[in-house]
Chains A and B, each alone.
Chain A
Amino acid sequence: MASSHRISRRDFAKFVTAALSTIMGAAMGIPVIAYLIDPALKVQSSEAWIPLGPLDGFPEGTPKSFSFTRSNINGWEKTVNSYGGFIVKKSDSDILALSNRCTHLSCSVNWSEEDNAYTCPCHEAYFDMDGGVLDGPPPHALDHFETKVEEGDLYILFPAVPSHGG
């Protein structure tokens, strides 16, 4: 009877030691792990509607450039990135907002009236007015932003998304 219900002094000591070690290990280990992986757990949601001003300000039939900046906080540092693109307005209901970031290696493309194309200065690439690749190394069309018009003002949704087709 004694053997079935009582635990020996030695087993008790073993059990208490193991339990205390586990608690102390967790008390030290968990804070340390949380401390190390903390930045990886912070996800910055960056989606935002960026106002570009009155829609009337954009000419019909020819691309007009725009630019804006977004800031991110990494640790104690604010990183400001600039972005830009072109609004291609064909009518008040047919608006395309293209990113100016070349899909090859991210140089900025410029609209060239002369070539009737966006040209990339880095590796001589050409994109048509709607962003499709005409010539050069880029693998696919320029990215675009979703757009909306509210009370006469044009907004684009950051970040840009890939366009389909070449």
Chain B
Amino acid sequence: MFKNIYAWLDERLGFDDLYKGLLDRPEPHGNWWNTLGSASLFLFVMQGVTGIFLTVYYTPSPDHAYDSIQYIMNGVAFGWLIRGIHHWGASLMVLVVFIHMLRTFFSASYKYPRELTWIVGSLLFLLTLGMGFTGYLLPFNQRAYWATVVATNIGGVVPGAGPFILRALRGGTDVSALTLSRFFSAHIWMLPAALAALIGVHLYLIMRHGESAYPDADD
């Protein structure tokens, strides 16, 4: 019966063709390093899911941010688990994405015809760092506050445009409620949307070109 249902659906949706065209392709003899892109994707999804759950209690205002996180950690059932996964997953994602980048660098996978995969990948790496940068402020404790004061000051020393960049990042001259809410907005809407779109492009390119093969003795 399931076969019939599947056949009915497939006739209309064309899953089999999609599957054959996109995923059922020959893989080169790779190794564990070739799994890091998928690991990055998994971490992105995991951060997305745990992040959505965190917003159920987290409150992005200077008056409430710190207390709302204390509440998640101590007051809500399994809050420590959800936040713990998001917290450690953030560092892990930066690490995994970076090692994935190193592997594609050392296997020279960025060469023709995969230059765009590499360029889009570089943007993905920067966006991942951006997620870490904006997420770090959200607990609004002393460490988060001063880290953001210092990191935004770094933007401020750019010759010429520095003072403007500083004000644009902070939403004014000081790290304030405006900084917290714009970092929050970037962290949960803008950067993830950009990441999701670029991951789509990245994956399209990988399906289009297939994975690069490692040279063997004859090469």
**Chain A: residues with CB nearer than 8 A to chain B?**
31-32, 34-36, 38-39, 41, 75-77
Contact = CB atoms under 8 A, between A and B. Distances in A.
A36 B81 CA distance: 13
A76 B75 contact: yes
Nearest to B67: A76
Given A75-B57, A76-B70, A31 B78 contact: yes
Contacts of B76: 35, 38-39
Interface string B58-75: 000000100110110001
Given A32-B53, A35-B53, A75 B78 contact: no
26 contacts: A31-B78, A31-B81, A32-B53, A32-B82, A34-B77, A34-B78, A35-B53, A35-B56, A35-B76, A35-B77, A35-B78, A35-B79, A35-B81, A35-B82, A36-B53, A36-B56, A38-B75, A38-B77, A41-B77, A75-B57, A75-B68, A76-B64, A76-B70, A76-B71, A76-B75, A77-B67
* B: contact size bracket: 10 to 19
Interface hub of A35, A38, A41, A75 (most chain B Cβ within 10 A): A35
A39 to B, nearest CB: 8
Contacts, number: 37
Contacts of B64: 76-77
A75 B82 contact: no
Grouping DSSP codes into helix (H, G, I), strand (E, B) and loop, the A interface class, with mixed when no group exceeds half, is: helix
A36 B82 CA distance: 11
Contact of A75 (B53, B71, B77, B81): B71
A41 B78 CA distance: 14
Contacts of A75: 57, 68, 71, 75
Contacts of B78: 31-32, 34-35
Given A35-B56, A35-B77, A77-B67, 15 more contacts: A31-B77, A31-B81, A32-B53, A32-B78, A35-B78, A35-B81, A35-B82, A36-B56, A38-B76, A38-B77, A75-B57, A75-B71, A75-B75, A76-B64, A76-B75
